[in-house]
Amino acid sequence: MKALVTANMDERNLHRLETEVGLDVTYRPIADREERYSPTELEELLEDVSVFVVGYEGIPPELLDAADLDVIACSRGGPDANVDIAAATGRGIPVLYAPGRNAVSVADFTLGLMLAAARHIAHSHHLLHTGVYTGEPQNDTAPGGEREDVTWGVAATSPYAKLKGPELYDKQLGLVGFGDIGRKVAKRAVGFGMDVVAHDPYVDAETMAEAGVEKVGVGDLCRESTFVSVHCPVTEDTRGLLGTDEFEAMPDDAYFINTARGAIIDQDALVETLRNGGLRGAALDVYDREPLPDDHPLLEMDNVVTTPHLGGAAEEVVERHSAMLVDDLARFLQGDQPEHVANPDVLAAAAGGSD
């Protein structure tokens, strides 16, 4: 049975596809290319292929009609971003996927952004590299001091004075979304000694309490949190969830962090609030347009940390989604129930309607 793999996979699990699952694998990872394959290119590559392990290529209905696939395995946590799930379901093709593959990575990154914004880590790095705080080294030991004390200085114009920021300890963190990533962020924040609240209509207060988190409404969360961090998917209910009213409700000394999706917020409203001093700072990994235009106002703000959608870009993520997909492909091809299926009704139908 032939398989085409366009997702990035680690060597061990790629080898498992061939030795344990028994597939004849063609490996064309996106990491080795400049861009995604087009549907036309994929149509040629999928000739005689039964198993398609996809990363970021689009799979529209016409491609499914041209190919003869038994199963699609998507390395993403949300396969509907590039796979037409309804079309696959209508053609009886199960779509396996890898939920939570980057939850650890994004949670780590979120805490990194919080620290980078609050303690000026990114901004001070920029100031050093652009020569603002470089110069002739001086001995800064105070007269009468008994040990060497080399610093940039501590007076009013020094970086020590100008770039002070708040500790995370004893601050309130408000999480918009309490799924897998939100829960991991909460666990890390509690380790920093933060008080954590969360808004998520799909998670009950008891479940949050078990994690040491208080369930609150989005309005109270915005009004009372020093840090507000977004961790929910884009849906009809969450698109534009945070706008002018929510940003203006946040304290002037608050920080806003988004590692989820740009569509969840009104980005123009955030920019305006930052311009007006309504927030102390922000840290953003996602935007309403990517890449950011060269002249975007966010790039001109010293109190905003910007990163190019790197939250899930940890080395372990590839290993994790590879193992999840190979495990589920082995189950499926052996006639067992896969653990992560985006359209489980297909499997139920194939089994005569039984679970």
State the Rg of the chain over Cα.
24
Shared-domain flag, residues 10 and 96: yes
| Residue 145 falls inside a structural domain | no
* Predicted local distance difference test score (pLDDT) of residue 355: 42
Shared-domain flag, residues 266 and 330: no
Q: How far is residue 12's CA from residue 184's CA, in Å, rounded to a whole number?
A: 27
* Predicted local distance difference test score (pLDDT) of residue 199: 98
What's the whole-number mean pLDDT along residues 64-93? 97
Shared-domain flag, residues 291 and 319: no
* Predicted local distance difference test score (pLDDT) of residue 140: 65
The pTM of the full predicted model, rounded to 2 decimals, is 0.94
* Predicted local distance difference test score (pLDDT) of residue 138: 75
339 is catalytic: no
- Out of 231, 261, 320, 340, pick the active-site residue: 261
* Predicted local distance difference test score (pLDDT) of residue 136: 86
Partners of 306 in the β-ladder: 284
- Out of 44, 146, 290, 315, pick the active-site residue: 290
Task: Give the three-state DSSP class for 194.
Answer: coil
Q: How far is residue 150's CA from residue 137's CA, in Å, rounded to a whole number?
A: 9
| Residue 148 falls inside a structural domain | no
**Residues 191 and 181 sit within 8 Å (Cβ to Cβ):** no
- 234-243 pLDDT, tens digit per residue, is 999 999 999 9
Shared-domain flag, residues 217 and 289: yes
Average pLDDT value for the chain: 95
Burial code of 204-243, b = ≥16 C-beta within 10 A, e = fewer?
A: eeeebeebebebbebeebbebbbbbbbbbbbeeebeebbe
Residue 11 has pLDDT above 80, yes or no: yes
Q: How far is residue 145's CA from residue 167's CA, in Å, rounded to a whole number?
A: 28
Q: How far is residue 155's CA from residue 345's CA, in Å, rounded to a whole number?
A: 67
* Predicted local distance difference test score (pLDDT) of residue 151: 81
Q: How far is residue 233's CA from residue 247's CA, in Å, rounded to a whole number?
A: 19
CA 119 to centroid of chain Cα atoms = 22
What's the whole-number mean pLDDT along residues 212-224? 98
| Residue 143 falls inside a structural domain | no
* Predicted local distance difference test score (pLDDT) of residue 257: 99
CA 319 to centroid of chain Cα atoms = 16
Q: How far is residue 344's CA from residue 335's CA, in Å, rounded to a whole number?
A: 14
- More confident: 46 or 353: 46
Partners of 195 in the β-ladder: 172
Shared-domain flag, residues 298 and 173: yes
Residue 353 has pLDDT above 50, yes or no: no
Output phi, psi for 2, to 5 deg.
Answer: -90, 145
Task: Give the three-state DSSP class for 238.
Answer: coil
**Of 14, 32, 36, whose CA–CA distance to 23 is shortest?**
14
How does DSSP classify residue 299? G
Residue 281 has pLDDT above 80, yes or no: yes
**Residues 286 and 261 sit within 8 Å (Cβ to Cβ):** yes
- 81-134 pLDDT, tens digit per residue, is 999 999 999 999 999 999 999 999 999 999 999 999 999 999 999 999 999 999
- Out of 36, 119, 296, 309, pick the active-site residue: 309
Q: How confident is the model at residue 354 (pLDDT cuts 50, 70, 90)?
A: very low
Q: How far is residue 114's CA from residue 171's CA, in Å, rounded to a whole number?
A: 12
Shared-domain flag, residues 184 and 240: yes
- 133-149 pLDDT, tens digit per residue, is 999 887 666 777 777 77
How does DSSP classify residue 91? T
Segment holding 273, helix H or strand E: helix 267-275
Shared-domain flag, residues 218 and 295: yes
| Residue 146 falls inside a structural domain | no
Shared-domain flag, residues 327 and 249: no
Shared-domain flag, residues 262 and 225: yes
* Predicted local distance difference test score (pLDDT) of residue 352: 57
**Of 132, 128, 148, whose CA–CA distance to 140 is shortest?**
148
Shared-domain flag, residues 14 and 78: yes
* Predicted local distance difference test score (pLDDT) of residue 233: 94
| Residue 126 falls inside a structural domain | no
- What is the extent of the structural domain holding 189? 103-119+165-306
What's the whole-number mean pLDDT along residues 316-330? 98
Shared-domain flag, residues 301 and 319: no
- % of the chain with per-residue pLDDT over 70: 97
| Residue 110 falls inside a structural domain | yes
126 is catalytic: no
What's the whole-number mean pLDDT along residues 187-207? 98
Q: Tokens standing for 343?
A: 């359209």
Residue 70 has pLDDT above 70, yes or no: yes
| Residue 193 falls inside a structural domain | yes
* Predicted local distance difference test score (pLDDT) of residue 150: 77
Shared-domain flag, residues 254 and 278: yes
Domain CATH code at residue 92: 3.40.50.720
State the total domains in the chain.
2
Beta carbons within 8 Å of 295's beta carbon, 6+ residues apart: none
| Residue 285, burial from CB neighbour count under 10 angstroms (0-12, 13-18, 19+) | buried
223 is catalytic: no
* Predicted local distance difference test score (pLDDT) of residue 351: 66
| Residue 144 falls inside a structural domain | no
* Predicted local distance difference test score (pLDDT) of residue 154: 84
Type of residue found at 214 = E
* Predicted local distance difference test score (pLDDT) of residue 14: 98
